[in-house]
Amino acid sequence: MQVIVHGGAGTTVEEPVPRQATLDEAADAGASENDPVDAVEAAIRVLEADTRFNAGTGGAVQSDGVIRTDAGVMTSDRDAGAAASMPGVEAAISVARAVMEETPHVLLNGVHAVDFADDVGVDVACDLWSEDTRERWDDLDDHPEGSPLDHLEWIQDKFGSTDPEGRDQKDHDTVGAVAFDGEKLAAATSTGGRWLALAGRVGDVPQIGSGFYAAPAGAASATGAGEDIAKATLTRRAVRHLESGLDAQAAADRAIEEFGELTGSSAGVIVLGSDGTVGEAFNSEQMQTARARTE
């Protein structure tokens, strides 16, 4: 089993050494599995449980003071599932997998996704706050009230920003994994969103071809500025380059180059080809990754 994981593309992170240790643990957890879907789920569950990453516990806070999680998963057979906008759900990737395997749909969202998660045995009463996110939310000098338009006005200079002390606000710490067992591939991505987004905002992560994509030629997981990733369909773009004959590293490089030209924004992508080649590329300050392989 080949596995590569990422912990987000963005500014230089705090605590890079323990973050890398968790990424290494996640890659090893995935590589110990026998099936690519099991592999990406196992890897991402390690990262969703670590508050240093913007997925599961420790996710970003939306304008109404709620943390909501999103995730998506897809196989090279083009089976896919995603779940979005779920308060109280740490294991978003497990909900996405259940959507793929247990329903005729590819995406559930909001309260209905949470109810479905509860029915399939995923914990929906998790405290997703970390000490850090609680402190940063409490440090804001005001919190919005009123209608969505009132919230929209409040977030105009706050969405995706750093705080007044310049600390990273978990904008780009989305996590992802791709896996290959020699025959079948899988890609998965999970996130807690972007800092101070409008309540109910859903970004690229649960959108097929944006935050995640898999096909017979390969699989990819993306991270970065979600709205721009969705507009550029970054992971579909990377896999399309695999389909044109590029190896995984060349496909990742080309996709990020095109993404930057199209959007002027920052992102990262990990790619695993059906020929066994692995690639990663980013145009932000940093993207931490880890790889593992078992025979």
Condensed to tens digits (0 to 9), the pLDDT of residues 165-185 reads 444 444 558 999 999 999 999
Are the C-beta atoms of residues 22 and 52 closer than 8 Å to each other?
yes
Please identify every residue annotated as catalytic: 174
pLDDT value of position 161: 54
Identify which of 158, 194, 176, 150 has the alpha carbon closest to the alpha carbon of residue 60: 194
Strands 286-293 and 107-109 turn out to be unpaired
Q: What is the pLDDT of residues 131-142, one digit of tens each?
A: 988 998 888 878
Residue 223, annotated as binding a ligand? yes
Residue 220, annotated as binding a ligand? no
The yes-or-no verdict on residue 287 having pLDDT over 60 is yes
**Runs of H (alpha helix) within the chain:** 16-31, 36-48, 92-102, 110-119, 131-139, 148-155, 226-232, 234-243, 248-263
Higher pLDDT, 146 or 284: 284
Tell me the mean pLDDT in the region 179-207.
Answer: 95
pLDDT value of position 12: 78
pLDDT value of position 43: 98
Residue 240, annotated as binding a ligand? no
**pLDDT band, very low/low/confident/very high, at 104 (cuts 50, 70, 90):** very high
pLDDT value of position 80: 98
Cβ density class 217-240: b for 16+ within 10 Å, e for less: bbbbbbbbbbbbbbebbbbbbbbb
The yes-or-no verdict on residue 199 having pLDDT over 60 is yes
Residue 224, annotated as binding a ligand? yes
How many residues are present in the chain?
295
Q: What is the pLDDT of residues 231-275, one digit of tens each?
A: 999 999 999 999 999 999 999 999 999 999 999 999 999 999 999
- The percent of residues above 70 in pLDDT, for the chain, comes to 95
Rounded to two decimals, the pTM is 0.94
Higher pLDDT, 251 or 63: 251
Residue 26, annotated as binding a ligand? no
Average pLDDT value for the chain: 93
Residue 225, annotated as binding a ligand? yes
Tokens coding 136: 């940063």
